[in-house]
Amino acid sequence: MTPRIIISLLLFTSTVLAASRTSPPSGALVVRAGTSTSGEYRNISAAVQALPNDSSSRSIFIYPGTYNEQVYITRSGPLTIYGYTSDTSSYRSNQVNIVASLSAQQAGSNDASGTLRIHKDNFKLYNVNVKNGYGAGTQAIAISQYGNKVGLYGCGFYGYQDTLLANQGTQVYLKGYIEGATDFIFGRQGLAYFGGNTIAVTGPGWVTASGRQSNDSGSYVFDGNTIVLGSNPAAGTSGKVYLGRPWDQYAKVVFKNTVITAPFNKAIWSVWHDDEQRIDHILFAEYNTTGSGVQGAARPSFATVLSASQAAQYTIGTAVGSDYASWVDASYV
């Protein structure tokens, strides 16, 4: 074969491997920024409001663009929202951005500040970036999640303090991107599983702040994620990043098979405050953490390093329920 034919074959192969989604699936409502086409919606909220609030399964397809709005989803029946992308398998080619910039103080609560607020069961989101652009200073949520059987696939979540509120219900975050600095994956009763994500740290702080308040079924289980230093990190980030601190007494967080290149503090885990530590009932556990960011780690006594057999007890099934295969998109697991 000539080099040109070989190159053509390689290009063909990579195009085939990266599945694209560039047109609406049959039956989907269509959102397109600036559209004047009859039947299409100029923003996502308008499409969401157009859906019947009944038990039927519905979908929405969004063309590329930045949509400056908060999106609040409550309809009762199953809903799937698809973002336009040339590569469904990852967040990297996402072209749909939902952007708002409310702080919790301005909005009245953490949930009310969310750029995307999911208050429904049976919801899937594919290849959409969700951003809270408020910046540093106070709580400002990108995604506020309260539903059961909710899957977020190849999505990007961007914020600074409290980016991702996994507050209630069973939920999976797969092959996506999560960015922040302070307590940026947090919540109370969420049963959440995070797999194959890139987690980017942009300032000194804590990746998680579990606010579990009793020995309930909630936990945050992470498997196979990478924690990196984000672009333009705040000054003084190096040595001041931790996997988590306990927002409440029963915080429960497990990180398995994590590669950490962000420059962590050697303690890896943190108390809430020195004068209010909240460490008596927590589980802060790890298995097989590697990477340049955790060299020389010296964990405190309240951190747990799991054996292989102990780690095997924390799976997607134990995190979100043994029926997970009936609602999680297996192509992202």
Ligand X SMILES: *[C@@H]1O[C@H](CO)[C@@H](O)[C@H](O)[C@H]1NC(C)=O
The stretch near ligand X (CB under 6 A) out of 38-46, 57-65, 132-140, 165-173 is 38-46
The stretch near ligand X (CB under 6 A) out of 68-76, 137-145, 161-169, 189-197 is 68-76
- Indicate the residue among 51 and 271 with the shorter CB distance to ligand X: 51
Please give the Cα distance from 90 to 3 (Å, whole number): 30
The stretch near ligand X (CB under 6 A) out of 2-10, 58-66, 67-75, 87-95 is 67-75
- Least gap, CB of 291 to ligand X (angstroms): 9
The stretch near ligand X (CB under 6 A) out of 32-40, 70-78, 133-141, 316-324 is 70-78
- 56 belongs to the binding site for ligand X (CB under 6 A): no
Residues 6 or more apart whose CB falls under 8 angstroms from that of 211 comprise 186, 187, 188, 247, 248, 251
Please give the Cα distance from 235 to 81 (Å, whole number): 37
**Among residues 29, 32, 43, 294, which is the contact residue for ligand X, using CB under 6 A?**
43
Per-residue contact string for residues 148-187; x = within reach of ligand X by CB under 6 A:
----------------------------------------
- Indicate the residue among 20 and 55 with the shorter CB distance to ligand X: 55
CA-derived radius of gyration, the chain:
20
Please give the Cα distance from 32 to 200 (Å, whole number): 29
Query: Which of 181, 174, 107 has the alpha carbon at shortest distance from 144?
Result: 107
User: What counts of helices (H) and strands (E) characterise the chain?
Assistant: 5, 27
- Indicate the residue among 216 and 323 with the shorter CB distance to ligand X: 216
Please give the Cα distance from 199 to 257 (Å, whole number): 14
- 312 belongs to the binding site for ligand X (CB under 6 A): no
Whole-Å CA distances, 220 to 1, 90, 184, 197, 309: 52, 22, 13, 14, 19
**Among residues 224, 229, 263, 267, which is the contact residue for ligand X, using CB under 6 A?**
224
**Among residues 75, 117, 124, 245, which is the contact residue for ligand X, using CB under 6 A?**
75
Please give the Cα distance from 267 to 303 (Å, whole number): 9
SS3 63: coil
**Among residues 28, 259, 267, 271, which is the contact residue for ligand X, using CB under 6 A?**
259
**Among residues 21, 42, 92, 240, which is the contact residue for ligand X, using CB under 6 A?**
42
Which residues are known to be catalytic? 162, 183
The stretch near ligand X (CB under 6 A) out of 29-37, 42-50, 91-99, 325-333 is 42-50
**Among residues 22, 53, 57, 310, which is the contact residue for ligand X, using CB under 6 A?**
53
Residues 6 or more apart whose CB falls under 8 angstroms from that of 186 comprise 162, 164, 165, 166, 208, 209, 210, 211, 247
- 46 belongs to the binding site for ligand X (CB under 6 A): yes
Question: What are residue 177's phi and psi, to 5 degrees?
Answer: -135, 135
Size of site (CB under 6 A) for ligand X:
16
- 76 belongs to the binding site for ligand X (CB under 6 A): yes
Residues 6 or more apart whose CB falls under 8 angstroms from that of 292 comprise 260, 261
Report the interface residues with ligand X, using CB under 6 A: 42-43, 45-46, 53, 69, 74-76, 215, 224, 257, 259, 281, 288, 290
